Amino acid sequence: MSEAAESPIASRDELANLRKKVPQHCGWCGRRLEHNGTVGRRRCYCGQSCRQRAYERRAAVQRTGLPEDAVVLSNDEIATLQDRLFQLRCAAEDVVTATEDGATVDELRRMAAELARSASQLEQLR
């Protein structure tokens, strides 16, 4: 067995490759951020406007005395989030039911793609 295979510590290149595989999203709007291949810290925001909005939110939260990681949602935002979660659950239940009913591979593939699309949209909270 080689020394590299025995070492529990990943090399810098291995870590960079792992980071490329993990999708990262804007800390404000949730848009997927593309990795530009440079070494170093990855971006947190897709642009200056999202960075500014996040700063303004952090400053407003600090003024209220809430914990910095607090999430404040309006009643409309909560209702929208609940609706989207309900749609995701229904799509997952549809896949389970179709599997139990003996759906074809093509039908299951289509339903799984819809489930993945719903989950992807749900990731973007803002």
On whether both 17 and 41 belong to a single domain, the answer is yes
Q: What is the pTM of this model?
A: 0.50
What is the per-residue pLDDT for 43? 82
DSSP codes of every residue in 13-72: HHHHHHHHHS-EE-TTT-PEEPP-S-SSPPPSSSSHHHHHHHHHHHHHHHHHT--TT---
Q: Is residue 87 within 8 Å of residue 121, measured between CB atoms? A: no
Residues 43 and 11 in one domain: yes
Range of the domain at 80: 73-126
Alpha-carbon distance of 24 to 30, in angstroms, equals: 9
Same domain, 66 and 87: no
pLDDT profile of the chain (126 residues), mean per 10: 51 60 78 74 87 88 80 86 92 93 93 89 73
Whether residue 91 sits in one domain with residue 38: no
